Amino acid sequence: MLKRKKRKCRVGIVLRDKSDKTRHVSVERTHRHSFYGRVLRTKKKFLVHDEKNISRIGDVVEIMESRSFSKTKKWVLVRIINKMLPI
């Protein structure tokens, strides 16, 4: 029996929720420059599948790598860590 590899998990902020069942999530990570040693922040956007349309802009969410839903959508929403308060 083949074992499945451990899936990647990330925590990010929802940037866009206009599309049906799709969210744009920004994930920020910090790393050191290999030569200069300065701490750098890099952001990357992921298209995330949200089956129940429960997340909104500003929510902090956990996403997990999954099968491909489309050409660019390869992540799925696991849970909402922190909800953004409505104004």
Residues 16-28: tens digit of each pLDDT: 999 999 999 999 9
| Residue 4 in domain | no
Evaluate whether residue 3 is within a structural domain: no
In a domain, 77, yes or no: yes
For residue range 42-82, list pLDDT tens digits in order: 999 999 999 999 999 999 999 999 999 999 999 999 999 99
Q: Are 55 and 15 in contact (CB under 8 A)?
A: no
Question: Does any domain span residue 73?
Answer: yes
Total structural domains in the chain?
1
Residue 45 has phi, psi (to 5 degrees) of -100, 140
Domain range for 40 is: 9-46+55-81
**How far is 20 from 38, CA to CA, in rounded Å?**
40
Residue 66, domain member (yes or no)? yes
Q: What is the CATH number of the domain that holds 61?
A: 2.40.50.140
At residue 73, what are phi and psi to the nearest 5 degrees?
-95, 105
Question: Using an 8 Å Cβ cutoff, are 78 and 49 in contact?
Answer: no
- Torsion angle of C-alpha atoms 18, 19, 20, 23, degrees rounded to 10: -90
